[in-house]
Structure 1
Amino acid sequence: MRKADRLFQIVQILRRSSRPVTADAIAAELETSKRSVYRDIAALIGQRVPIRGEAGIGYVLESGFDLPPLMLTADEIDAVALGATWVAGHADENLARAASDLLAKIAAVLPEEMRPFLGNPAARAVPAFDRPVDGIDATQLRAWIRAGRKLRLDYADEQGRATRRTVWPLMIGYADATRMVLAWCELRADFRTFRLDRILAAEFLDAPIPGSAAQLRARWLKEMRERG
């Protein structure tokens, strides 16, 4: 790895951590020696990068410092391309269009020598074929999630039995060939997931959900971790 790339990666490692990062941890991730890390940290500090800490304790990047957002590595470009092509092949039409627009915007501002990595990435997602048709407008569903409003659903289970439920939509989940909405179900007084292709009818209500959607999502994630 070139020294310039290594310096960039050290800043990235410090930027994504809220706690001091030791030279051992940095060296392990970069597959280099601690001595090289010490020299690189000194070089960064000499370039006025606001790094606090010392050997044996760990290093922290002070707030307020950032790098240009499009100084991407080849692996980061692959990650962006993989994510965007997956969305383009699995999400609803509006999100798919947004993913394509995102790739075009990134390509327009990438350095010339990095553009081939985006145009011909080493990782690419295969589109989802034979995907069932959603019974709800996914674009409006996302808008209702962001607005924190309720839905009324006519929903069919695996056996085709229909029920009517009022739910608090929290998040859309994407499987390989299906989409589902995570929601708090007033009928069951619990979290439930509803496949979008099994929704028979949907009414977008003006009623706000009680409390915070972010807190409900955090609660669901906590429950999933405890079950797992």
Structure 2
Amino acid sequence: MTSPVIAARDLTIRIEGREILHKVSMTVQPAEIVTIVGPNGSGKSTFLRALIGAVPLASGRVERAPGLRIGYVPQKLALDSALPITVRRFLSLPRRISDDRVTDAMSRAGVPGLESRQMTDLSGGQFQRVLLARAILERPQLLLLDEATQGLDQPGAAAFYQRIEEVRRDLGCAVVMVSHDLHVVMAASDRVLCLNGHICCEGAPEVVADAPEYRALFGTGTKGTLALYRHQHSHRHDADCEHDNSHGAD
């Protein structure tokens, strides 16, 4: 079995004295797409920030492959509308990036030819794809996305996740996504982790969609809708579900 690109070992996180995550463990294999779902306040974004070292741990540890290159797409990025900055300039911060690398990243992100556009003139979907282009400039081995389709409609979100699959295929990178787009994003995943302050259920999308813990959180209609979007995989993952009703925070 190959070594994971990243592993969380019994992560516990407390913020202002309140426990947000309790003994959360997860490993991510090379080229695997893992989606983290959960209700509001479940600790999803906190967990993703912990993986990149942006949140202190109360206990546990994060293990990264040596020299791991990580690309990160944040939940949102606010730019001052009065600040003139082109897409090309934005991609070159904080250091200059060659034209060839910019062109390649923009093409992979699905927004070729927008380099001269002002960032503030982009549509929501274009803006998110430029953030994706920035995240893949260094050809990451692990791509992290925190609610990257927030504000997009369902067709836009589905197109974005299809692009993520293509990036995974072309770059061979692993992907960890946090999302509320349950039906579409689960269909684009190899494995789903349902988080609610702890891992309440984990496994292949069909298994998680049918798990009582997941259905208690999100309702019973997901499984049928999931079948409309599901693509085929050449491998399978085992599921390990256990029940708990504790709550955390994003």
TM superposition score normalised by structure 1: 0.26
Structure richer in helix, relative to its length: 1
Identify which of structures 1 and 2 has the higher relative contact order when contacts are C-alpha pairs closer than 8 Å and 6+ apart.
Answer: 2
TM superposition score normalised by structure 2: 0.25
